[in-house]
Structure 1
Protein backbone atom coordinates (compact mmCIF):
# COMPACT_ATOMS: atom_id res chain seq x y z
CA UNK A 1 0.00 0.00 0.00
CA UNK A 2 2.90 2.38 0.62
CA UNK A 3 4.02 2.40 -3.00
CA UNK A 4 0.40 2.67 -4.12
CA UNK A 5 -0.23 5.85 -2.09
CA UNK A 6 3.16 7.38 -2.90
CA UNK A 7 3.44 6.56 -6.61
CA UNK A 8 0.79 4.46 -8.31
CA UNK A 9 -2.22 6.38 -7.00
CA UNK A 10 -1.31 9.53 -8.94
CA UNK A 11 -0.69 7.53 -12.12
CA UNK A 12 -4.21 6.11 -12.25
CA UNK A 13 -6.00 7.34 -15.37
CA UNK A 14 -9.35 7.08 -13.55
CA UNK A 15 -8.36 10.10 -11.45
CA UNK A 16 -7.61 12.39 -14.40
CA UNK A 17 -10.86 14.34 -14.02
CA UNK A 18 -10.49 15.06 -10.31
CA UNK A 19 -8.98 18.24 -8.93
CA UNK A 20 -8.71 17.02 -5.33
CA UNK A 21 -8.73 13.60 -3.72
CA UNK A 22 -9.40 12.99 -0.05
CA UNK A 23 -7.93 9.98 1.68
CA UNK A 24 -9.79 8.80 4.73
CA UNK A 25 -8.76 5.36 5.91
CA UNK A 26 -11.57 3.04 6.97
CA UNK A 27 -10.46 3.14 10.62
CA UNK A 28 -10.75 6.93 10.73
CA UNK A 29 -13.69 9.18 11.48
CA UNK A 30 -14.44 12.85 10.93
CA UNK A 31 -16.21 14.18 14.01
CA UNK A 32 -18.39 17.22 14.52
CA UNK A 33 -18.75 20.03 12.01
CA UNK A 34 -16.23 20.33 9.20
CA UNK A 35 -15.75 22.95 6.56
CA UNK A 36 -15.81 21.96 2.91
CA UNK A 37 -12.10 21.12 2.62
CA UNK A 38 -12.21 21.05 -1.19
CA UNK A 39 -13.66 24.55 -1.34
CA UNK A 40 -11.11 25.79 1.19
CA UNK A 41 -8.26 24.31 -0.83
CA UNK A 42 -9.59 25.82 -4.03
CA UNK A 43 -10.01 29.25 -2.39
CA UNK A 44 -6.49 29.17 -0.97
CA UNK A 45 -4.95 27.50 -4.05
CA UNK A 46 -3.71 24.79 -1.69
CA UNK A 47 -1.97 21.67 -2.90
CA UNK A 48 -2.13 19.64 0.31
CA UNK A 49 -4.38 19.44 3.38
CA UNK A 50 -2.34 17.83 6.13
CA UNK A 51 -3.25 15.93 9.23
CA UNK A 52 -1.23 15.95 12.47
CA UNK A 53 2.53 15.56 12.58
CA UNK A 54 4.00 12.25 13.65
CA UNK A 55 7.43 10.58 13.63
CA UNK A 56 8.86 7.27 12.52
CA UNK A 57 11.73 5.97 14.63
CA UNK A 58 14.83 4.24 13.31
CA UNK A 59 14.71 1.70 16.17
CA UNK A 60 11.18 0.66 15.13
CA UNK A 61 11.79 0.79 11.36
CA UNK A 62 15.51 0.12 10.74
CA UNK A 63 16.63 1.85 7.55
CA UNK A 64 14.36 4.85 8.03
CA UNK A 65 17.36 7.16 8.36
CA UNK A 66 18.76 5.99 5.00
CA UNK A 67 16.08 8.22 3.51
CA UNK A 68 17.95 11.29 4.78
CA UNK A 69 20.89 10.50 2.50
CA UNK A 70 18.57 9.78 -0.41
CA UNK A 71 16.75 13.10 -0.23
CA UNK A 72 19.82 15.26 0.32
CA UNK A 73 21.74 13.48 -2.47
CA UNK A 74 18.72 13.97 -4.73
CA UNK A 75 18.66 17.71 -4.02
CA UNK A 76 22.44 17.98 -4.47
CA UNK A 77 22.42 16.09 -7.78
CA UNK A 78 19.43 17.92 -9.26
CA UNK A 79 20.48 21.55 -9.61
CA UNK A 80 16.97 22.63 -10.51
CA UNK A 81 15.67 21.57 -7.07
CA UNK A 82 15.42 24.11 -4.30
CA UNK A 83 13.31 23.03 -1.36
CA UNK A 84 10.21 25.20 -1.10
CA UNK A 85 10.25 24.72 2.67
CA UNK A 86 13.94 24.33 3.57
CA UNK A 87 13.36 24.57 7.32
CA UNK A 88 10.73 21.85 7.16
CA UNK A 89 13.10 19.65 5.17
CA UNK A 90 16.04 20.34 7.48
CA UNK A 91 13.97 19.69 10.60
CA UNK A 92 12.37 16.54 9.16
CA UNK A 93 15.26 14.45 10.43
CA UNK A 94 16.59 14.03 13.93
CA UNK A 95 19.42 11.64 14.80
CA UNK A 96 16.97 8.73 15.05
CA UNK A 97 13.63 9.76 13.56
CA UNK A 98 11.86 11.31 10.59
CA UNK A 99 8.79 13.53 10.75
CA UNK A 100 5.72 12.73 8.74
CA UNK A 101 2.09 13.68 8.34
CA UNK A 102 -0.35 11.21 9.82
CA UNK A 103 -1.96 10.62 6.45
CA UNK A 104 -4.92 8.39 7.20
CA UNK A 105 -6.65 11.68 6.45
CA UNK A 106 -5.27 13.94 3.75
CA UNK A 107 -6.44 15.89 0.73
CA UNK A 108 -4.19 16.17 -2.30
CA UNK A 109 -4.30 18.33 -5.38
CA UNK A 110 -3.91 15.76 -8.13
CA UNK A 111 -2.41 18.15 -10.69
CA UNK A 112 0.28 19.19 -8.22
CA UNK A 113 1.28 15.62 -7.37
CA UNK A 114 1.43 14.75 -11.09
CA UNK A 115 3.87 17.50 -11.96
CA UNK A 116 6.98 16.38 -13.86
CA UNK A 117 9.41 17.49 -11.14
CA UNK A 118 7.47 15.58 -8.49
CA UNK A 119 7.19 12.53 -10.74
CA UNK A 120 10.96 12.64 -11.19
CA UNK A 121 11.42 12.70 -7.39
CA UNK A 122 8.93 9.87 -6.91
CA UNK A 123 10.72 7.78 -9.54
CA UNK A 124 14.08 8.46 -7.88
CA UNK A 125 12.77 7.27 -4.51
CA UNK A 126 11.05 4.28 -6.08
CA UNK A 127 14.25 3.24 -7.87
CA UNK A 128 16.04 2.86 -4.51
CA UNK A 129 13.55 0.14 -3.47
CA UNK A 130 13.63 1.69 0.02
CA UNK A 131 9.87 1.31 0.29
CA UNK A 132 10.37 -2.45 0.18
CA UNK A 133 13.77 -2.76 1.88
CA UNK A 134 13.14 -0.38 4.77
CA UNK A 135 9.38 0.16 4.73
CA UNK A 136 9.70 3.87 4.07
CA UNK A 137 6.12 4.87 4.66
CA UNK A 138 3.96 6.93 2.37
CA UNK A 139 3.44 9.33 5.29
CA UNK A 140 7.17 10.14 5.47
CA UNK A 141 7.43 10.31 1.70
CA UNK A 142 4.42 12.63 1.46
CA UNK A 143 5.89 14.90 4.14
CA UNK A 144 9.23 15.11 2.34
CA UNK A 145 7.53 15.69 -1.01
CA UNK A 146 5.56 18.58 0.47
CA UNK A 147 8.74 20.02 2.05
CA UNK A 148 10.54 19.87 -1.29
CA UNK A 149 7.84 21.04 -3.67
CA UNK A 150 5.03 22.91 -1.87
CA UNK A 151 5.28 26.45 -0.61
CA UNK A 152 4.11 26.81 2.98
CA UNK A 153 1.10 29.00 2.18
CA UNK A 154 -0.28 26.26 -0.09
CA UNK A 155 -0.27 23.60 2.63
CA UNK A 156 -3.25 23.64 4.99
CA UNK A 157 -3.23 21.93 8.38
CA UNK A 158 -6.29 20.33 9.94
CA UNK A 159 -5.27 21.47 13.44
CA UNK A 160 -5.54 25.11 12.32
CA UNK A 161 -9.21 24.58 11.43
CA UNK A 162 -10.33 23.04 14.71
CA UNK A 163 -11.86 20.08 12.88
CA UNK A 164 -12.19 17.01 15.06
CA UNK A 165 -10.87 13.70 13.81
CA UNK A 166 -10.39 10.25 15.28
CA UNK A 167 -8.22 7.37 14.16
CA UNK A 168 -9.10 3.89 15.45
CA UNK A 169 -12.03 5.29 17.50
Structure 2
Protein backbone atom coordinates (compact mmCIF):
# COMPACT_ATOMS: atom_id res chain seq x y z
CA UNK A 1 0.00 0.00 0.00
CA UNK A 2 2.79 2.38 0.88
CA UNK A 3 4.53 1.93 -2.46
CA UNK A 4 1.31 2.58 -4.36
CA UNK A 5 0.21 5.51 -2.20
CA UNK A 6 -3.00 3.63 -1.43
CA UNK A 7 -5.45 4.49 1.33
CA UNK A 8 -7.52 1.29 1.25
CA UNK A 9 -7.06 -2.39 0.42
CA UNK A 10 -10.50 -3.79 -0.35
CA UNK A 11 -11.94 -7.25 -0.22
CA UNK A 12 -14.76 -8.36 -2.52
CA UNK A 13 -17.61 -6.09 -3.53
CA UNK A 14 -20.92 -7.14 -2.00
CA UNK A 15 -24.44 -5.70 -2.00
CA UNK A 16 -27.08 -4.81 0.56
CA UNK A 17 -30.68 -4.83 -0.57
CA UNK A 18 -33.74 -2.83 0.35
CA UNK A 19 -35.59 -6.10 0.84
CA UNK A 20 -33.13 -7.31 3.49
CA UNK A 21 -32.48 -3.92 5.08
CA UNK A 22 -35.50 -1.60 4.65
CA UNK A 23 -34.32 2.01 4.40
CA UNK A 24 -31.12 1.12 2.57
CA UNK A 25 -32.13 3.10 -0.50
CA UNK A 26 -32.68 6.31 1.50
CA UNK A 27 -28.89 6.49 1.54
CA UNK A 28 -28.89 7.25 -2.19
CA UNK A 29 -30.86 10.47 -1.70
CA UNK A 30 -28.81 11.40 1.37
CA UNK A 31 -25.56 10.85 -0.55
CA UNK A 32 -26.53 12.86 -3.62
CA UNK A 33 -28.06 15.64 -1.51
CA UNK A 34 -24.76 15.85 0.40
CA UNK A 35 -22.77 16.01 -2.83
CA UNK A 36 -24.95 18.84 -4.16
CA UNK A 37 -25.16 20.77 -0.88
CA UNK A 38 -21.38 20.65 -0.35
CA UNK A 39 -20.36 21.03 -3.99
CA UNK A 40 -18.42 17.75 -3.90
CA UNK A 41 -16.77 16.46 -7.04
CA UNK A 42 -16.65 12.68 -6.47
CA UNK A 43 -13.21 11.22 -7.10
CA UNK A 44 -14.66 7.98 -8.53
CA UNK A 45 -17.84 9.03 -10.28
CA UNK A 46 -18.30 5.71 -12.08
CA UNK A 47 -18.02 3.75 -8.82
CA UNK A 48 -20.51 6.13 -7.21
CA UNK A 49 -22.97 5.76 -10.10
CA UNK A 50 -22.65 1.96 -9.90
CA UNK A 51 -23.07 1.97 -6.12
CA UNK A 52 -26.83 2.19 -6.34
CA UNK A 53 -28.95 -0.34 -8.21
CA UNK A 54 -32.74 -0.50 -8.35
CA UNK A 55 -33.07 -1.80 -4.81
CA UNK A 56 -29.46 -2.49 -3.91
CA UNK A 57 -26.37 -0.66 -2.82
CA UNK A 58 -22.81 -1.91 -3.19
CA UNK A 59 -20.33 -2.18 -0.38
CA UNK A 60 -17.00 -3.74 0.41
CA UNK A 61 -17.08 -7.08 2.17
CA UNK A 62 -14.95 -5.69 4.97
CA UNK A 63 -14.22 -8.52 7.34
CA UNK A 64 -10.80 -8.14 5.77
CA UNK A 65 -9.54 -4.65 5.01
CA UNK A 66 -6.41 -2.58 5.36
CA UNK A 67 -6.71 1.16 5.55
CA UNK A 68 -4.71 4.30 6.07
CA UNK A 69 -6.21 6.00 9.11
CA UNK A 70 -4.88 9.44 8.17
CA UNK A 71 -7.09 9.40 5.10
CA UNK A 72 -10.25 8.64 7.08
CA UNK A 73 -9.43 11.35 9.63
CA UNK A 74 -9.35 14.11 7.03
CA UNK A 75 -11.65 17.05 7.71
CA UNK A 76 -13.86 16.56 4.63
CA UNK A 77 -14.35 12.86 5.40
CA UNK A 78 -15.20 13.56 9.03
CA UNK A 79 -17.73 16.12 7.81
CA UNK A 80 -19.31 13.52 5.48
CA UNK A 81 -19.53 10.91 8.24
CA UNK A 82 -20.93 13.44 10.72
CA UNK A 83 -23.56 14.36 8.13
CA UNK A 84 -24.52 10.70 7.72
CA UNK A 85 -24.56 10.28 11.48
CA UNK A 86 -26.91 13.26 11.87
CA UNK A 87 -29.56 11.50 9.75
CA UNK A 88 -29.79 8.62 12.28
CA UNK A 89 -29.84 6.25 9.28
CA UNK A 90 -27.14 4.19 10.95
CA UNK A 91 -29.61 3.42 13.74
CA UNK A 92 -32.94 3.45 11.88
CA UNK A 93 -31.85 1.61 8.74
CA UNK A 94 -28.65 -0.12 9.75
CA UNK A 95 -26.42 1.76 7.33
CA UNK A 96 -23.28 -0.07 8.23
CA UNK A 97 -19.57 0.51 7.99
CA UNK A 98 -19.22 -1.53 4.78
CA UNK A 99 -21.56 0.61 2.68
CA UNK A 100 -20.29 3.84 4.24
CA UNK A 101 -16.70 2.84 3.51
CA UNK A 102 -17.60 2.12 -0.11
CA UNK A 103 -19.31 5.50 -0.55
CA UNK A 104 -16.56 7.36 1.31
CA UNK A 105 -13.95 5.94 -1.02
CA UNK A 106 -16.06 6.71 -4.10
CA UNK A 107 -16.40 10.31 -2.96
CA UNK A 108 -12.93 11.06 -1.62
CA UNK A 109 -10.33 8.54 -2.88
CA UNK A 110 -8.76 8.46 -6.30
CA UNK A 111 -9.08 5.16 -8.17
CA UNK A 112 -5.37 4.40 -7.80
CA UNK A 113 -5.64 4.86 -4.01
CA UNK A 114 -8.00 1.89 -3.63
CA UNK A 115 -6.47 -1.54 -4.14
CA UNK A 116 -8.61 -4.64 -4.63
CA UNK A 117 -7.64 -8.03 -3.25
CA UNK A 118 -8.67 -9.88 -6.41
CA UNK A 119 -6.19 -7.85 -8.46
CA UNK A 120 -3.36 -9.29 -6.36
CA UNK A 121 -4.52 -12.89 -6.47
CA UNK A 122 -4.58 -13.07 -2.68
CA UNK A 123 -6.74 -15.94 -1.54
CA UNK A 124 -9.47 -15.30 0.96
CA UNK A 125 -11.97 -17.68 2.41
CA UNK A 126 -14.81 -16.92 4.80
CA UNK A 127 -16.45 -19.94 6.37
CA UNK A 128 -14.57 -22.38 4.15
CA UNK A 129 -14.86 -26.05 4.80
Residue 168 of structure 1 and its aligned partner are, at CA, apart by: 2.3
SS at match of 2:62: coil
Whose Rg is larger? 1
Runs of 4+ with >3 A deviation? none
Relative to total residues, which structure has the larger strand share, 1 or 2?
1
TM-score normalized by structure 2? Answer: 0.97
1:75 aligns with 2:29: no
Match of 2:80 in 1: 121
Query: Which segments of 5 or more consecutive residues in structure 2 lack a partner in the other structure?
Result: none
Q: CA RMSD in A?
A: 0.6
1:154 aligns with 2:88: no
CA distance, structure 2, for counterparts of residue 95 and residue 144 of structure 1:
17
TM-score with structure 1 setting the length: 0.75
Instruction: Count residues in correspondence.
Output: 128
Mapping of 1:13-162 within 5 angstroms? 41-79=1-39, 81-162=40-121
The 5-angstrom pairing of residues 1-16 of structure 1 reads: none
